[in-house]
């Protein structure tokens, strides 16, 4: 490569909102129901049916806008975006073009060099999701499921402010965290509740104009996004280097093959014949409504980190990790509120929880054990009712099935045996059966006792307190 290039990236992020019902009708948004069981004349586009805006959608959109430093539009409107596709029964999507609910925002991300940079948000608008086409069921036709038709979305359109895959991921993580803290969506890329389209162009370093961009769809993980960015950057640079031109188009990234292919030439707003939806009244956002939503905003990560530092004696590293997930922060705070020692709760989160999350590929938002059960487990260990290896064993079952640890320990007979006589018997047996180790220990090899402790634990089927075993061994040796 002879010249230096700069990559310019802007994102369009769609987020499915966590409302119980759809954006313009009362149908359920619950996931996984039988095909077309959650539909009505409105969300299947029947003539004569009328949409009514779900207030919760507006409130979530405003809350996200406030949290991302946007101006909230006080007089917003819905527009029809016209296009034909079988997953879109009305032949138009209700969206917002002229007066979107939020504008001119931005979020701060940390750059690789350790600095802070603002990624601008051009606008956030409300719109409806489309249905789902199922192509592989039968060979000669496609099926359509309208359960998703009319599920509320917000689309967050960034400015072309990002310059690398790392910045893109940092921006997406920031957005996801804000939205999860708000409870406005679970933002799962794999399941499609958060979807990012990547607009990318390259230009010679120092150039003042942007290059021609492409838009990539079908990116359902951070890894796929990073790979797609690397692949598209290279493709565009190769084109320019060989004297060809980048064509403005929509491309689909095939993550398995590691390459993208053209889907369609990019359409402009005028191709969609946008016009104001005559069935929906404009939205007026009053001062009261805005004040109410503002007052309900949760404590976001930065404030939470500050408060944790003041309130809890736990390391900064733990605070970083815990506050990276709303669910984990809630777990932590609830367990502490139930009386557990903060450091002990944090130890379970930083240790076994993170280990099992990695091993079983579970995300923090999907942790299933309750704070009550974690507190009970800590209580059992504190009272020496179970030893630490049994506690880990119980925790793993809690992690999988949220069992009540007290009940589980009782049922499985995992309680530490505190019977002096039984322990003495076991130790005597081990001493008798391991003359070599006993001789080593007596001859000054302190370490030999570890083996004898282990053997005794085995005889006790793990249900002894290692400290007590140690003491008993020393006494009898």
Name the site residues for ligand ADP (rule: CB under 6 A).
8-12, 157-160, 199-201, 210, 213, 269
Closest contact distance (angstroms) between CB of 173 and Zn ion is 33
The closest alpha carbon to 200, from 236, 156, 176, belongs to: 236
The listed partner (ligand ADP, Zn ion, none) that binds 124, CB under 5 to 8 Å by sort, is none
Strand partners, 134: 143
Per-residue exposure over 409-446, b if at least 16 CB sit within 10 Å of its own CB, e if not: beeeebebbeeeeebeebbeebbeebeebbebbeeeee
Q: Which is nearer to ligand ADP, 17 or 121 (CB)?
A: 121
CB of 191 to ligand ADP, least distance (A): 23
Q: Nearest approach, Cβ of 284 to Zn ion (angstroms)?
A: 25
Residue 339: CB atoms within 10 Å: 9
DSSP string, 401-435: H---HHHHHHHHT-SPP--HHHHHHHHHHHHHH-H
CB of 231 or CB of 405, closer to ligand ADP: 231
218 vs 324, which CB is nearer to ligand ADP?
218
Query: Which one of Zn ion, ligand ADP, none interacts with residue 50, CB within 5 to 8 A by kind?
Result: none
Q: Of the two residues 104 and 389, which places its CB atom closer to ligand ADP in the complex?
A: 104
Residues of the shown chain interacting with Zn ion in the complex, contacts defined by CB under 5 A: 25, 27, 40, 42-43
For residue 8, the partner it binds in ligand ADP, Zn ion, none, with Cβ less than 5 to 8 A by kind, is ligand ADP
Partner from ligand ADP, Zn ion, none contacting 201, C-beta within 5 to 8 A by type: ligand ADP
d(CA 128, CA 108): 28
275 binds, among ligand ADP, Zn ion, none (CB under 5 to 8 A by kind): none
- Which residues does 28 contact at the CB level (< 8 Å), separation at least 6? 20, 21, 22, 38
210 binds, among ligand ADP, Zn ion, none (CB under 5 to 8 A by kind): ligand ADP
DSSP-derived pairing of the beta strands 102-110 and 116-128: antiparallel
Q: Which of residues 156 and 438 has its CB atom nearest to ligand ADP in the complex?
A: 156
Cα 8 to chain centroid, rounded: 26
Q: Return the number of the residue (8 or 438) whose C-beta is nearest ligand ADP.
A: 8
Q: Are 340 and 375 in contact (CB under 8 A)?
A: yes
Q: Which does 27 bind (CB under 5 to 8 A by kind): Zn ion, ligand ADP, none?
A: Zn ion
For residue 302, how many other CB atoms are within 10 A of its CB? 10
Please state the closest distance from residue 200 (CB atom) to ligand ADP, in A. 6
In the complex with Zn ion, the residue whose CB is nearer, 40 or 477, is 40
CB-nearest residue to ligand ADP? 10
Q: State the CB neighbour count (10 A cutoff) for residue 365.
A: 14
Q: Least distance in Å: CB of 184 to ligand ADP?
A: 20
CB 131 within 8 Å of CB 188: no
Look at phi and psi of residue 192 and say left if phi exceeds 0, alpha if psi is from -120 to 50, else beta: left
- Is the Cβ of residue 157 or residue 374 nearer to ligand ADP in the bound state? 157
Tell me the C-alpha distance between 43 and 152, whole Å: 11
Nearer to ligand ADP, 197 or 259 (CB): 197
Shortest Cβ distance from residue 105 to ligand ADP (Å)?
A: 13
Identify the bridge partners of residue 14 per DSSP, sorted by sequence position: 155, 195
Select from 71, 67, 72 the least CA-distant residue to 108. Answer: 67
Rounded to a whole number of angstroms, the minimum distance from the CB of residue 45 to ligand ADP is 24
Q: Which does 25 bind (CB under 5 to 8 A by kind): Zn ion, ligand ADP, none?
A: Zn ion
CA distance linking residue 372 with residue 374, whole number of Å: 6
- Paired strand residues for 113: none
What distances in angstroms separate CA 161 from CA 11, 102, 107, 240, 437, one per listed residue? 9, 18, 11, 22, 68
When the beta carbons of 42 and 394 are compared against Zn ion, the nearer one is 42
Q: Least Å distance between CB 15 and Zn ion?
A: 20
The least CB distance from residue 214 to ligand ADP, in Å, is 9
Q: Which of ligand ADP, Zn ion, none does 342 bind, CB closer than 5 to 8 A by kind?
A: none
Q: Which does 10 bind (CB under 5 to 8 A by kind): ligand ADP, Zn ion, none?
A: ligand ADP
Which of Zn ion, ligand ADP, none is residue 40 near (CB under 5 to 8 Å by kind)?
Zn ion
Tell me how far apart the alpha carbons of residues 291 and 145 are, in angstroms, rounded to a whole number: 39
Distance in angstroms (rounded) separating the CA atoms of residues 236 and 242: 10
Of 81 and 376, the one with the shorter C-beta distance to ligand ADP is: 81
Min dist. Cβ of residue 272 to ligand ADP (A): 10
CB of 242 to ligand ADP, least distance (A): 20
Cα distance between residue 467 and residue 314, in whole Å: 26
Residues 156/170, Cβ–Cβ less than 8 Å: no
């Amino acid at each position: 490569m002879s010249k230096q290039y700069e990559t310019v990236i802007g994102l369009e992020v769609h987020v499915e909102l966590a409302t119980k019902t759809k954006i313009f009708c009362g149908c359920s948004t619950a996931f996984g129901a039988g095909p077309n069981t959650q539909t009505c004349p409105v969300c299947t586009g029947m003539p004569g049916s009328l949409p009514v805006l779900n207030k919760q959608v507006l409130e979530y959109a405003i809350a996200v806008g406030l949290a991302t430093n946007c101006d909230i539009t006080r007089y917003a409107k819905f527009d029809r975006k016209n296009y034909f596709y079988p997953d879109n029964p009305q032949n138009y999507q209700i969206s917002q073009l002229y007066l979107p609910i939020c504008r001119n925002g931005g979020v701060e991300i940390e750059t690789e060099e350790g600095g802070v940079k603002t990624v601008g948000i051009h606008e956030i608008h409300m719109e409806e999701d489309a249905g789902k086409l199922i192509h592989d069921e039968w060979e000669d036709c496609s099926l359509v499921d309208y359960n998703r038709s009319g599920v509320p979305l917000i689309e967050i359109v960034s400015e072309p402010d990002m310059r690398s895959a790392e910045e893109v991921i940092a921006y997406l993580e920031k957005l996801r965290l804000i939205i999860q803290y708000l409870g406005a969506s679970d933002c799962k890329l794999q399941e499609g509740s958060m979807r990012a389209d990547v607009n990318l162009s390259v230009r010679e370093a120092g150039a003042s104009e942007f290059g021609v961009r492409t838009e990539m769809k079908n990116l359902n993980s951070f890894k796929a996004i990073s790979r797609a960015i690397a692949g598209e950057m290279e493709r565009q640079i190769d084109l320019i280097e060989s004297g060809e031109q980048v064509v403005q188009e929509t491309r689909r990234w095939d993550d398995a093959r590691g390459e993208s292919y053209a889907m369609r030439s990019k359409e402009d707003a005028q191709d969609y014949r946008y016009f104001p939806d005559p069935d929906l009244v404009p939205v007026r956002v009053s001062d009261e409504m805005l004040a109410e939503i503002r007052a309900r905003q949760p404590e976001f990560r930065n404030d939470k980190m500050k408060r944790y530092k003041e309130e809890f004696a736990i390391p900064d590293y733990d605070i970083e990790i815990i506050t990276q997930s709303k669910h984990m922060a809630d777990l932590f705070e609830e367990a502490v509120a139930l009386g557990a020692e903060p450091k002990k709760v944090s130890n379970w989160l930083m240790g076994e929880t993170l280990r099992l999350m990695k091993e079983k590929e579970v995300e923090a938002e999907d942790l299933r054990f309750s704070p009550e059960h974690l507190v009970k487990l800590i209580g059992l260990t504190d009272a020496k009712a179970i030893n630490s290896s049994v506690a880990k064993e119980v925790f793993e079952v809690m992690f999988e099935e949220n069992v009540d640890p007290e009940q589980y320990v009782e049922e499985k007979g995992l309680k530490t045996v505190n019977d002096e006589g039984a322990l003495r018997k076991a130790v005597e047996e081990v001493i008798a059966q391991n003359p070599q180790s006993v001789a080593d220990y007596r001859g000054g090899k302190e370490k030999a006792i570890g083996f004898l402790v282990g053997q005794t634990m085995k005889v006790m089927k793990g249900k002894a307190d290692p400290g007590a075993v140690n003491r008993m061994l020393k006494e009898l040796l």
